[in-house]
Structure 1
């Protein structure tokens, strides 16, 4: 009989594997899988909208025609482009540069675009390149998307939270956090922020605060890591300029993704990294070139087939994704209006004041945060899923400082108005029962 090998000791594996941030994501995925019949307000997944399987072949054919007819490529060159390993920084960088110029007024050369395997890889590459010293510290708006804090934990990067207000992070709070970091012997290197309809809170920065944040970044010698997956999806008011569109000193590294605006299954993201890098020998390059070196040692290159599908979609849209997303924008607007309306219907002003329940009213995006007078933890989520058939996300998983214990996040992006109405009735029953069960 072959002897059973001794188990690996968790204590001898990387310390991030015992970090609650990594456990939180796995727990949520596990709960969703165990209760497939529950109505889920948990994941921030986009709607499948009008997706059809045959669309993939059409997008691919469109991109092939684009290379042949607009770029003048031979079939042999096109074959190599699609079937072989490709350029590390990506093959659709020119189309992406054209698209962000049309949609956001962001002017960067195609050479400053790094095409990544989802935005998550873009975060990893950027953090690995920028954080070189043990004292380097990442400032993050808190509560914060667990993808960035998890990536920082994997890389052993210190994270310092910046409290978020009703309009996102206060630039003066960013300044105070940078100065506190220096006083503690740290080097504040960059600040991560989702300025539009942030995950998890749904907050958005005013245009004035965006301008002030750029001023603070210059004064404190910070880079800004701008993550902008939700900016298209405005519910009320007008779209606000991205930080990168306002950037005059190349302070902003812009992290983008086509998961919410195009096709999540393609797993294509990008980084706009036009910062100049000066070598010890006087050689000058772009930060994008340095990210490419790291990418060559991780994913080598982003799937050429996935890029071609996204490239074809961009060509079909005339490199104007905001216009192409008009139907999706309307869908998310209706979903958010329905969610907020159902909260109001089940908990009118006098009742919610009596019960101690409140929620924010985002101007767009996917997420609403509800505050309740009981512990909205993993145990409560399990009960909600099992006994009431409704899922949500505990906000405590997004806090770095122990907050959010009495808050839950609702995402309305993947549900129809009818399912939102039914799900909110189930959630109202769960919340009401928890309140009545209190001592």
Structure 2
């Protein structure tokens, strides 16, 4: 059977809640920031005046009313696109599957920045592709390492045409590639005729309001850009987009039509209405302020509980949702999972972000939706769990 020819692919359990659990696992946005009264009034008006259209099937295109909302978001990071280059998706995860199914063939190799978002690796593997890690140095993705890797794979008879990366406030590390490094990567991509898949959920969530030019903005003919409203508006609408060169956009549009038949006309109309009446600036600024405060609370608590010269290392993020802890002695963080559960706290072990077993010595903490008053308590619970897990590992 088809299912017997592909390995089982699982995602980490990110969104489990309940009881007294303090979850640092799932990357949920802080929806307390979203002006629910405004959204509710707009949805009510939308359904009252145009409900028969908003609740009907539609074509596999980004609605004309939504195009300005997307181009506004992309332009804030130097991106540029037109309606003909846009493909609607149910969020970036659907975009990843569409790219994997529409632009590659089973058995091909897809190059990945690591640590890698687990949903990307899962999508590629589900489509029958083989993720392969690209070397990194102190500045992130290594252009020379990319060149050597591609040439070696091709010399071995393997097809490698796609490079997947999350270059701004990366999930899980929070790191951002410099513009100079982005230019170097694009130079190698042109030399080797690689397509870059740029996943950018967090690029507008820099705590100081500054942005970094997207790869798509630097070379729109070489980059397939995955955008989403999940982190700058709300994930429940399941609405995102792909911006791609026109010939690739046509292929991806056919693929997404097979996957979902039709995008949500209601979601697209709701987002367009919000942008028309309110724009993005105030909402994005409010999200930035929320995450800046929560990030500082978590980093301060980590310093207080774990110190700065112990077995755990991390960096204060400049944006995004996450803090990435690494054990200096290489201990597998899965060994702490049971102790963490017993103490009512959760995290994502680093092994979920590996391509071939790497990153097991790390763990990801998400601060974006944890109630501010509980962040320090959660880190205190985590510190106890990490101590217990280490003690048990030594005893074993």
Partners of 1:407 and 1:63 in 2: CA distance: 46
Q: 1:423 to 1:15 in 2, by over 3 A?
A: farther
Q: Match of 2:8?
A: 18
1:268 aligns to 2:268 (yes or no) = no
CA contact (8 A) 2:66 2:268 kept: no
Q: 1:194 to 1:405 in 2, by over 3 A?
A: same
Q: 1:17 to 1:47 in 2, by over 3 A?
A: farther
CA contact (8 A) 2:316 2:323 kept: yes
1:385 aligns to 2:323 (yes or no) = no
| Partner secondary structure for residue 25 of structure 1 | coil
1:93-144 superposed Cα distances (whole Å, 9 cap, x missing partner):
4234432354233221112111111111111112222113x55321111111
With normalisation by structure 1, the TM-score equals: 0.82
The equivalences for 1:90-109 within 5 A come to: 90-91=62-63, 92-109=65-82
Tell me by how many angstroms 1:232 deviates: 1.3
Tell me by how many angstroms 1:380 deviates: 2.4
Deviates more, 1:196-205 or 1:365-374: 365-374
Q: Match of 2:144?
A: 172
CA contact (8 A) 2:209 2:288 kept: no
Q: Match of 2:102?
A: 129
1:304 aligns to 2:268 (yes or no) = no
Q: Match of 1:156?
A: 128
| Partner secondary structure for residue 201 of structure 1 | coil
1:9-34 superposed Cα distances (whole Å, 9 cap, x missing partner):
xx873444624xx1x425x55xx35x
Residue segments in structure 1 that go unaligned for 5+ positions in a row:
1-10, 66-74, 278-286
Q: 1:295 aligns with which of 215, 234, 256?
A: 256
Q: Match of 2:32?
A: 49
For this pair of structures, how many residues does the alignment match?
Answer: 392
CA contact (8 A) 1:394 1:409 kept: yes
Residue segments in structure 2 that go unaligned for 5+ positions in a row:
none
Q: Match of 1:40?
A: 23
Q: 2:57 aligns with which of 85, 98, 106?
A: 85
**RMSD of aligned C-alpha atoms?**
2.4
Q: 1:412 to 1:165 in 2, by over 3 A?
A: farther
CA contact (8 A) 2:62 2:87 kept: yes
Q: 1:62 to 1:254 in 2, by over 3 A?
A: farther
1:58 aligns to 2:41 (yes or no) = yes
CA contact (8 A) 1:141 1:161 kept: yes
CA contact (8 A) 2:22 2:346 kept: yes
Partners of 2:175 and 2:380 in 1: CA distance: 25
With normalisation by structure 2, the TM-score equals: 0.91
CA contact (8 A) 2:77 2:212 kept: no
Q: Match of 2:363?
A: 408
Partners of 2:12 and 2:69 in 1: CA distance: 30
| Partner secondary structure for residue 76 of structure 2 | helix
| Partner secondary structure for residue 241 of structure 2 | strand
CA contact (8 A) 1:59 1:311 kept: no
Partners of 1:98 and 1:64 in 2: CA distance: 25
Tell me by how many angstroms 1:63 deviates: 6.1
